């Protein structure tokens, strides 16, 4: 439905009429449904909505081209719900809230384009909740990025879930294609798991994050027409202030089929190391392809090694090939567990997670568990209490406006190298600030109130609460 709204809005906004006005006029007349098909010339066919003057809007050609051969049939009663959740921004509005896309608001860059932080409220548009946002700007070269932008609008415009990032709005103006999301305070899982901020992400926090991501995938797969995410990886798992996880970047997501023998694709897309073998070799794409990708990330969580590490020897370069044979052997399993956890994890939880990863990474798609089964397997692991006692050190990412002030330094705690960088007693001074002053690293101990309030661990001096 959102794809239709994007198209309809771009056609009629040029004439000063809002989408809401048009729908309110059409809804009583049309018998509850709209049928829209985009013919080969890239121009829309929708009775009563298209005129010859609209055909002269040449700046819409690229957008309309991506709708080729797409047929959408939807109940108009769902339109108003979608319109309440998605706002249409002008380029100037987004330029204003990001301070001209300034380097001070720059958050990072991905395959889609650059991401900037901004702030919106109802002074910008009526009904907007006052909140920080992330504005993602599409790279203007090439057509693939535009198709990915459109896929995100269509999917996130219709689907809402606690573990999917919330799409607040979009901009489609001339050559500008932008998306506006809720801002996720703690960035993505990749930066935390592979220690960009220092220290080891605690075991139960890893489980909590993966459980949330699993619930997001399970929701997508349970849709009436399943959605295949197709790009499940740590950098696409965003984290809130309490380390709740949400899936982001739906540019490669596609409608799926529950029948394994019906969904084939000639173009294999995704990230090296995460794609299922049947998808790579034969273009066979199903929800089980996402399950395999989940297994890879689960394996990364266990080992703190990336899916592909090209600097390693040929034998250890691909994580799945190296680690999967050891997941079923209790004697070898401990050898591959992230050493920076220092044994502070549930041994029963590790065993269950390893067994789950082994099943998810099966070469036979039919042998893999559904995401519903994955969720049911992960949930009890959070309750396992056989974790070693003792404080656990984690260096968290914090903003200048919310600095950690009760940092403690303990002689009896073995610290990692990164900890010494911010600990005056061990280093002789505080490390100079990074050029990007928006975020800093601070050492927090598990036996402090601050650590528990951050939601980074359930560990305490006396065990697990």
Between strands 167-173 and 439-445, the pairing is unpaired
Q: Which of 192, 138, 143 is nearest to 170 (CA)?
A: 138
Burial letters 379-412, b for 16+ CB under 10 A, else e: eebeebeebeebbbbbbbbbeeeeebeeeeeeee
CA distances (Å), 315 to each of 152, 303, 309, 421, in order?
37, 16, 11, 34
Alpha helix stretches (DSSP H) within 98-202? 144-156, 189-193
Query: Residue 288 in contact with residue 366, Cβ under 8 Å?
Result: yes
**Residue 440 labeled ligand binder:** no
Measure Cα distances from 442 to 50, 196, 333 in Å: 58, 12, 32
Strand partners, 443: 395
Annotation marks residue 231 as catalytic: yes
Asked whether the beta carbons of 206 and 262 are under 8 A apart, the reply is no
Residue 123: alpha-carbon gap to chain centroid: 29
In the set 218, 231, 249, 290, the catalytic residue is 231
User: Rounded to whole angstroms, how far apart are CA atoms 358 and 348?
Assistant: 15
Coil, strand or helix at 108: strand
Residue 324 DSSP one-character state: G
Q: What does each C-alpha distance from 95 to 6, 91, 115, 171, 185 come to in angstroms?
A: 21, 6, 12, 11, 21
Q: Is 333 left (phi over 0), alpha (psi -120 to 50) or beta?
A: alpha
Q: Do strands 245-247 and 237-239 pair parallel, antiparallel, or not at all (unpaired)?
A: antiparallel
- Whose tokens are 């009663």? That residue is 77
Which helix (H) or strand (E) covers residue 255, if one does? strand 254-255
Of 110, 88, 106, 90, nearest to 98 by C-alpha is: 106
Give strand pairing partners of 398. 440
C-alpha distance from residue 105 to each of 97, 131, 144, 186 (Å): 10, 15, 26, 15
| Closest by Cα among 246, 70, 26 to 156 | 246
Q: Please enumerate, by residue number, every residue annotated as part of a binding site for ATP.
A: 136
**Looking at the annotation, which residues are catalytic?**
231
């Amino acid at each position: 439905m959102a794809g239709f709204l994007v198209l309809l809005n771009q056609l009629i906004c040029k004439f000063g009429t809002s989408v809401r006005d048009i729908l309110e006029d059409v809804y009583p007349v049309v018998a509850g449904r709209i049928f829209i098909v985009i013919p080969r010339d890239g121009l829309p066919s929708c009775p009563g909505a298209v005129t010859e003057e609209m055909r002269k809007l040449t700046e819409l050609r690229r957008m309309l081209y991506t709708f080729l051969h797409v047929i959408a049939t939807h109940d108009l009663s769902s339109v108003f719900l979608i319109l309440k959740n998605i706002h249409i921004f002008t380029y100037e509005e987004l330029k204003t809230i990001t301070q001209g896309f300034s380097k001070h608001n720059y958050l990072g860059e991905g395959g889609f384009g650059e991401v900037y932080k901004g702030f919106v409220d109802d002074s910008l548009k009526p009904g907007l909740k006052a909140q920080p946002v992330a504005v993602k700007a599409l790279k203007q070269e090439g057509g693939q990025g535009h198709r990915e932008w459109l896929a995100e609008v269509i999917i996130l415009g219709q689907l809402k879930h606690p573990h999917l990032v919330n799409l607040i709005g979009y901009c489609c103006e001339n050559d500008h294609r932008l998306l506006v999301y809720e801002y996720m305070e703690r960035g993505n899982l990749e930066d935390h798991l592979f220690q960009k901020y220092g220290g080891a992400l605690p075991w139960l926090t890893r489980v909590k994050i993966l459980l949330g991501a699993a619930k997001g995938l399970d929701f997508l797969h349970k849709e009436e027409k399943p959605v295949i995410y197709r790009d499940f990886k740590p950098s696409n798992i965003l984290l809130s202030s309490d380390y709740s996880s949400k899936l982001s970047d739906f540019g490669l997501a596609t409608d799926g089929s529950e029948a394994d023998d019906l969904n084939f694709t000639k173009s294999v897309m995704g990230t090296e190391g995460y794609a299922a073998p049947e998808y790579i070799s034969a273009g066979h794409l199903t929800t089980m392809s996402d399950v395999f990708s989940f297994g890879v990330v689960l394996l990364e969580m266990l080992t703190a090694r990336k899916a592909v590490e090209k600097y390693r020897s040929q034998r250890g370069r691909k994580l799945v090939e190296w680690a999967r044979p050891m997941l079923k052997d209790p004697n070898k399993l401990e050898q591959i567990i992230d050493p920076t956890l220092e044994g502070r994890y549930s041994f029963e939880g590790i065993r269950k997670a390893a067994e789950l990863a082994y099943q998810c990474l099966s070469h036979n798609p039919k042998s893999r568990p559904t995401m519903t089964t994955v969720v049911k397997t992960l949930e009890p692991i959070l309750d396992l209490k056989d974790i070693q006692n003792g404080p656990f050190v984690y260096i968290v990412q914090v903003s200048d406006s919310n600095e950690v002030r009760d940092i403690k330094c303990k002689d009896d705690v073995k610290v990692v190298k990164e900890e010494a960088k911010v600990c005056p007693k061990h280093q002789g001074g505080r490390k100079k600030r990074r050029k990007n002053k928006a975020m800093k690293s601070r050492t927090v101990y598990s036996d402090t109130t601050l650590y528990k309030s951050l939601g980074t661990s359930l560990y305490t001096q006396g065990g697990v609460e």
